[in-house]
Structure 1
Amino acid sequence: MSHNLDLAQNHAWDLARTLMVPVILFQSEDAFGVMVASEYDGDEDSIVHEYDPWSPAH
């Protein structure tokens, strides 16, 4: 978990490109987390952004 949104966004995009799967950047209280989109079963309102490595723009 990270408390820095910019850092979390960079790590999320890097993880998506490394694994070549969509990942979810989510907020939990005052921290941000990243996980594979297919495994995320949390609150939809907690999602900050989904990073898809196959999308032409992130």
Structure 2
Amino acid sequence: MSHNLTLAQNHAFDLARTLMVPVILFEAESEFGVMVSSEYDGDQDAIVHEYDPWSPAH
């Protein structure tokens, strides 16, 4: 697992818990992005993981 992916995963999880909304971690052109799940309308294959602060398992 790359350092960038690990960093992105940690930030995505923290963001979901801070905002208390599900967020999507996605990859586009070798870069990672995070956004609120309800606003994501990109390629479903680009999704790395969805972080839901209300789910007991992330």
- TM-score (normalizing by structure 2): 0.93
SS at match of 1:18: helix
CA distance in 1, matches of 2:5, 2:31: 8
Q: Secondary structure at the match of 2:14?
A: helix
Q: What is the root-mean-square deviation in Å for CA atoms of aligned residues?
A: 1.1
Contiguous gaps of at least 5 residues in structure 2? none
Q: Which amino acid aligns with 1:4?
A: N
User: Structure 1: 5+ residue runs without aligned partners?
Assistant: none
Counterpart check, 1:20 vs 2:20: yes
Deviations 1:2-58 (A, max 9, x none): x80000000000000000000000000111000000000000000000000000011
State the distance in 2 between where 1:39 and 1:45 align. Answer: 16
**What percentage of aligned pairs have identical amino acids?**
84
